[in-house]
Amino acid sequence: MSSTNEVILSTDGLTKSFGGLVAVSDVSLDVERGAIKAIIGPNGSGKTTLFNLITGALPPSSGRVYFEGQDITGFSMHQRTRRGISRSYQITNIFPYQTTFENIRLAVQGCSGRQVNFYGMLKKAGEYSEFHEKVIDIAAIVGLDAARLYVPAALIPHADQRKLEIAMALATEPKLLLLDEPAAGMSIEEIPDVIDAIVRVKESYGDELTLLVVEHKMDIVMRLSEEIFVLSEGRMIAKGTPKEIQENEQVLTAYLGGTDEELA
Ligand SMILES: Nc1ncnc2c1ncn2[C@@H]1O[C@H](COP(=O)(O)OP(=O)(O)OP(=O)(O)O)[C@@H](O)[C@H]1O
Ligand SMILES: [Mg+2]
């Protein structure tokens, strides 16, 4: 895993209140281009809200978001997507009766060259043979079996559906990809498969892709991340390497009284 010294994403004092509840409180973090970093924290600690502030799904109460040195705090989600910030699609965005291949191709066609192009999506599939290769490439990177490509998306295993969601996000050619609990809903046997897929994606794209992964469980991010940010009740209580975080007393306490089981 490599990363450059150039900061691609930065938040400065990011804060979000819902009425009296401060869901994200004064969070400042830097992510370097090409890095793979994680945000962890117990349930309700503000991880998803922080993601929503970065993608523009929610406006912050205060604080700033910078992307490639530009203040994007006032930008819409669409403007951020065009600049290269993408989050994993949820399975609800997938056409269940279309094949896995068709779903990826629609994402590739619709977002070709990072210009989201709705008219392009309506054109005949046959006009787009040039997208075929790209679909096959992306499917291979996330580890979708060739045999599964021609099966309706609703019928493939859960782990493959998660890989499909990641593939569709990659089709938009993001510079920064945000994954919110990529292993959620997976069985114990499926989790390593999904983690492998993320590792492979990172290796394939190198510094072209920066990854920020939200996770509840630390074991999921141990193998993945070079740096982990820990949220507790909206505040960043620690940041460091996976090893530093695992040994951090404050982090252990934040996780339900700090049982090793919760962290392992
Ligand atoms: N739209 C909203 N309106 C009001 N409160 C909200 C809203 N979204 C989140 N919250 C509250 O903000 C806090 C942080 O929620 P958030 O979803 O960001 O936590 P999380 O760390 O992602 O949790 P989980 O691990 O369960 O996914 C919680 O107390 C939650 O109830
Ligand atoms: Mg969440």
Q: State the average pLDDT for the chain.
A: 88
Q: Tell which wins on pLDDT, 73 or 117.
A: 73
Taking only the tens place, the pLDDT of each residue in 100-141 is 999 999 888 876 544 444 555 555 555 556 788 899 999 999
The protein residue whose alpha carbon is closest to atom 30 in ligand 1 is 44
Residue 108 tokens read as 């590739």
Q: Which ligand is nearest to the CA of 231?
A: 1
How far is 120 from 127, CA to CA, in rounded Å?
10
How far is 87 from 201, CA to CA, in rounded Å?
14
Pocket of ligand 1 contains residue 216 by CB under 6 Å: yes
Domain 1-84+175-264 has CATH 3.40.50.720: no
Confidence band for 86, pLDDT divided at 50, 70 and 90: very high
Delimit the CATH 3.40.50.300 region(s) of the chain: 1-84+175-264, 88-173
Phi, psi (rounded to 5 degrees) for 81: -60, -45
- Report the candidate in 3, 24, 37, 12 with the shortest Cα–Cα distance to residue 177: 37
Pocket of ligand 1 contains residue 25 by CB under 6 Å: no
Q: Domain 88-173 carries which CATH code?
A: 3.40.50.300
Rounded to the nearest whole angstrom, what is the distance from the C-alpha of residue 65 to the centroid of ligand 2? Answer: 19
Length of the chain counted residue by residue: 264
The protein residue whose alpha carbon is closest to atom 6 in ligand 1 is 18
Ligand 1 atom closest to Cα of residue 51:
18
Q: 83: burial class by Cβ within 10 Å (0-12, 13-18, 19+)?
A: middle
Pocket of ligand 1 contains residue 45 by CB under 6 Å: yes
Taking only the tens place, the pLDDT of each residue in 8-35 is 999 999 999 999 999 999 999 999 999 9
The protein residue whose alpha carbon is closest to atom 3 in ligand 1 is 18
